[in-house]
Chain A
Amino acid sequence: SQTIHQWPATLVQPVGSPLSLECTVEGTSNPNLYWYRQAAGRGLQLLFYSVGIGQISSEVPQNLSASRPQDRQFILSSKKLLLSDSGFYLCACTLRDFITDTQYFGPGTRLTVL
């Protein structure tokens, strides 16, 4: 079965600093990968998704970017963080089961921008 790792688990960064969050997936190959953001007490906002190495689709225009340098690695970055970037960042992957694609989430990274 698949395992999703996210690093770091928590992060406190000053406004204007850069950001790099990493997601790695074990136990599957060629997954679809996703980055979501969850504000405190709010729902899940899809930020980026990727269907393969180097292929990134953006759902929400903002100062964040994503990259997929390897099949099972997904990175979320920013050159200059804003206060509004605070939130809980979740990586997810899609596996193909016999009925439909099933989406699984990682443990998340709690980002606080001060």
Chain B
Amino acid sequence: QQQVKQSPQSLIVQKGGIPIINCAYENTAFDYFPWYQQFPGKGPALLIAIRPDVSEKKEGRFTISFNKSAKQFSLHIMDSQPGDSATYFCAAGSSGAGSYQLTFGKGTKLSVIP
């Protein structure tokens, strides 16, 4: 019930394309859904996050779409660039025992080719 399922495992798009990464969860107690971007050898960096009271959030070229009834959320990258090539993790969070814990998806390796 604590799992977050992320797909696809890897994704190759051409520059300017719109890669879409999908995540699904089961636990209805989750109330916070961040996306992280990780470059090789670096720690994950928070990219964008959404709460279930909105269906979409946009920051620059990155958009999260959220479907509460389906318990799914996705990341769209508009006008993708080679510099966007990285591994992307979705996560879901809920408060528990005074510590805000995140459950992560297994990651999607995105390659944007020129």
The chain B residue with its CB closest to the CB of A52 is: B98
B residues less than 8 Å from A105 (CB atoms): 36, 43-45
B49 and A102 form a contact (CB under 8 A): yes
Question: A35: CB under 8 A from chain B?
Answer: no
B107 and A108 form a contact (CB under 8 A): no
A residues less than 8 Å from B97 (CB atoms): 51, 57
B107 and A103 form a contact (CB under 8 A): no
Question: B60: CB under 8 A from chain A?
Answer: no
Size band of the interface chain A makes with B: 20 to 34
Query: Which secondary structure dominates chain B's binding surface?
Result: strand
B41 and A110 form a contact (CB under 8 A): yes
Docked pose: A4 CA to B109 CA in angstroms = 25
A90 and B99 form a contact (CB under 8 A): no
Question: A62: CB under 8 A from chain B?
Answer: no
B window 74-102: CB within 8 A of A: 89, 93, 95, 97-102
Question: B61: CB under 8 A from chain A?
Answer: no
Docked pose: A102 CA to B91 CA in angstroms = 12
* Chain A interface (Cβ < 8 Å from any Cβ of B): 4, 32, 34, 41-44, 46, 49-51, 57, 90, 94, 99-108, 110
* Given A32-B99, A101-B93, 14 further pairs, Cβ under 8 A: A34-B101, A41-B109, A42-B107, A43-B89, A43-B104, A43-B106, A44-B104, A49-B99, A51-B98, A57-B99, A100-B51, A102-B34, A103-B46, A105-B44
* Chain B interface (Cβ < 8 Å from any Cβ of A): 31-32, 34, 36, 41-46, 49, 51, 89, 93, 95, 97-102, 104-107, 109
